[in-house]
């Protein structure tokens, strides 16, 4: 089935104009499809869910439906437009499900593309970064009273840095693609980070910090902005909304947005933590969540930035050792470049930790 056929299964009418695959995203396949209806252009986002990563796509969609429903109520209470500030998943024509299954058993979903919106893979504008911080902070607040036990765990131990390291050590030991010798230095660096990187998970395991409903993939390009006004609109990519630590969301966002380079830039000499970007995001995020956090949680946010960066490096390198099966790669060694980049960033985060602590204090 073509993407166009999928649209028709979602009952999208009008004159088909075009379909373009969007290249961002390391897991699912995403297409932007344009139609003309009633003299107006209508845009949709069609995604094929990666079934080897999300083995139970129905459950992913069930989570998304519940979470967006909850947020929609909050948006209405705040007199905001539900068309702009929350995603809406379409239902299938045939059986009213929030997905369509194609002839080879793949799951597809459809969202309305928010009019006049844009996402940023990189961003130099500090006010936009601050607004991304507020958007993720608000997201956290909207879900503050959502019952986490209603959510399916779609990827178990997703941000469990301890089990991520276990998988890493196993890949090194099994060495199925004989690649260990090629990344000796990277392995050593990651092993040196381990003790500190797993601390956040230990706090969770010991019940010292609470499990909240978190987004778990807070890359800045998962917030949409109004192209004209620059206002932050809906938070996107709700695939991994699950129970987690607030430091996961803060940390993952910092890892992505405050890197001086994009996350797979092979020029690792240039990879640093940009303090101005760090501060802008922190300002937006903390202003939204500060009253909800415990003292220990506040003190774990920067640990989260370090842990999430290291964890992703571990995941990229594990995937390389296991034959590049999880993340989409654009060239051989792509996962190694990604891991090196994240190792360089984690190194700089560690180096700047005192400065980060001083900045975060300012906003609490
Ligand atoms: C994957 O595909 P995307 O960009 O939404 C990954 C995240 C990583 C990210 C790194 C389900 O997200 O955890 O942080 O790549 N998502 C999953 O770019 O593994
Ligand atoms: Mg994602």
Whether 27 lines ligand 1, by a CB cut-off of 6 Å, is yes
Checking phi first, is residue 237 left (phi over 0); if not, alpha (psi -120 to 50) or beta? left
Whether 312 lines ligand 1, by a CB cut-off of 6 Å, is yes
Do 79 and 143 fall within a single domain?
no
Whether 217 lines ligand 1, by a CB cut-off of 6 Å, is yes
Q: Is residue 117 part of a domain?
A: no
Name the residue among 142, 131, 143, 144 with its Cα closest to residue 287.
Answer: 131
Do 153 and 202 fall within a single domain?
yes
Do 103 and 251 fall within a single domain?
no
Nearest Cα residue to atom 1 of ligand 1: 26
Report the atom number in ligand 1 closest to the C-alpha of 216.
13
Do 134 and 68 fall within a single domain?
no
For residue 221, the ligand closest to its alpha carbon is 1
For residue 329, the ligand closest to its alpha carbon is 1
The DSSP code for 52 is: T
How high is the pLDDT of residue 180?
98
Nearest Cα residue to atom 7 of ligand 1: 217
How high is the pLDDT of residue 306?
99
Report the atom number in ligand 1 closest to the C-alpha of 53.
11
Counting the structural domains of the chain, the total is 2
| DSSP E strand stretches across the chain | 15-22, 29-37, 40-48, 100-101, 107-112, 117-118, 212-214, 223-226, 232-235, 242-244
How high is the pLDDT of residue 227?
97
Domain at 207, CATH number: 3.90.1200.10
Whether 187 lines ligand 1, by a CB cut-off of 6 Å, is no
Beta carbons of 89 and 111 less than 8 angstroms apart: yes
How high is the pLDDT of residue 23?
87
Q: Tell me the CA–centroid distance for residue 1 and ligand 1, in Å.
A: 26
Do 156 and 305 fall within a single domain?
yes
Do 155 and 267 fall within a single domain?
yes
How high is the pLDDT of residue 176?
98
Do 164 and 311 fall within a single domain?
yes
How high is the pLDDT of residue 214?
97
Whether 29 lines ligand 1, by a CB cut-off of 6 Å, is no
Do 73 and 191 fall within a single domain?
no
Q: Which residues of the chain have pLDDT under 50?
A: none
Whether 231 lines ligand 1, by a CB cut-off of 6 Å, is no
For residue 53, the ligand closest to its alpha carbon is 1
Do 74 and 222 fall within a single domain?
no
Name the residue among 106, 95, 115 with its Cα closest to residue 29.
Answer: 106
How high is the pLDDT of residue 190?
98
Q: Tell me the CA–centroid distance for residue 78 and ligand 1, in Å.
A: 31
CB-proximal residues (5 Å) to ion ligand 2? 217, 237
Pairing of strands 100-101, 107-112: antiparallel
pLDDT tens digits for range 141-197 = 999 999 999 999 999 999 999 999 999 999 999 999 999 999 999 999 999 999 999
Beta carbons of 128 and 276 less than 8 angstroms apart: no
Range of the domain at 7: 3-112
Contacts of 122 by beta carbon, 8 Å cutoff, 6+ apart: 262
| DSSP E strand stretches across 73-127 | 100-101, 107-112, 117-118
Whether 251 lines ligand 1, by a CB cut-off of 6 Å, is no
End-to-end CA distance of the chain: 52
Q: Is residue 315 part of a domain?
A: yes
Nearest Cα residue to atom 17 of ligand 1: 27
How high is the pLDDT of residue 24?
85
Q: Is residue 255 part of a domain?
A: yes
Whether the model pTM is above 0.95 = yes
Whether 204 lines ligand 1, by a CB cut-off of 6 Å, is no
pLDDT tens digits for range 288-316 = 999 999 999 999 999 999 999 999 999 99
Q: Is residue 120 part of a domain?
A: no
CA distance 200 to 274: 23
The helix/strand/coil state of 230 is coil
Do 186 and 266 fall within a single domain?
yes
Q: Is residue 119 part of a domain?
A: no
Q: Tell me the CA–centroid distance for residue 134 and ligand 2, in Å.
A: 19
């Amino acid at each position: 089935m073509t993407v166009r056929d999928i649209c028709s299964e979602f009952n999208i009418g009008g004159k088909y104009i075009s379909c373009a695959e969007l290249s961002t995203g390391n897991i699912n396949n995403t297409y932007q499809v344009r139609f003309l209806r009633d003299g107006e252009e209508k845009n949709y986002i069609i995604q094929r869910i990666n079934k080897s990563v999300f083995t139970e796509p129905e459950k992913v969609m069930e989570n998304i439906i519940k979470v967006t429903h909850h947020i929609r109520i909050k948006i209405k209470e705040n007199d905001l437009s539900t068309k702009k500030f929350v995603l809406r998943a379409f239902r299938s024509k045939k059986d009213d499900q929030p997905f369509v299954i194609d002839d080879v058993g793949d799951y597809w979903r459809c969202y309305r593309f928010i009019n006049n919106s844009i996402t940023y893979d990189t961003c130099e504008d500090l006010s936009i970064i601050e607004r991304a911080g507020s958007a993720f902070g608000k997201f956290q607040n909207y879900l503050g009273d959502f019952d986490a036990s209603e959510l399916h765990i779609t990827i178990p131990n997703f941000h469990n840095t301890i089990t991520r390291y276990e998988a890493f050590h196993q890949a090194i030991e099994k060495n199925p693609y004989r690649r260990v010798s090629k990344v000796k230095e990277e392995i050593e660096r990651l092993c040196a980070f381990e003790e500190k990187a797993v601390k956040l998970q230990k706090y969770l395991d010991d019940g010292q910090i609470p499990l909240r409903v978190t987004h778990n993939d807070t890359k800045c390009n998962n917030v949409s902005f109004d192209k004209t006004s620059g206002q932050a609109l809906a938070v996107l990519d709700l695939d991994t909304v699950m129970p987690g630590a607030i430091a996961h969301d803060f940390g993952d966002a910092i890892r992505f947005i405050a890197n001086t380079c994009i996350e797979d830039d092979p020029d690792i000499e240039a990879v640093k933590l940009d303090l101005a970007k760090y501060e802008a995001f922190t300002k937006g995020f903390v202003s939204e969540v500060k009253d909800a956090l415990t003292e220990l949680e506040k003190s774990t946010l920067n640990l989260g930035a370090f842990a999430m960066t290291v964890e992703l490096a571990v995941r990229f390198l594990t995937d390389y050792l296991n034959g590049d099966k999880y993340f989409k790669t654009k060239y051989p060694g792509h996962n190694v470049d990604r891991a090196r980049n994240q190792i360089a960033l984690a190194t700089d985060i560690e180096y700047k930790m005192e400065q980060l602590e001083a900045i975060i204090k300012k906003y609490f």
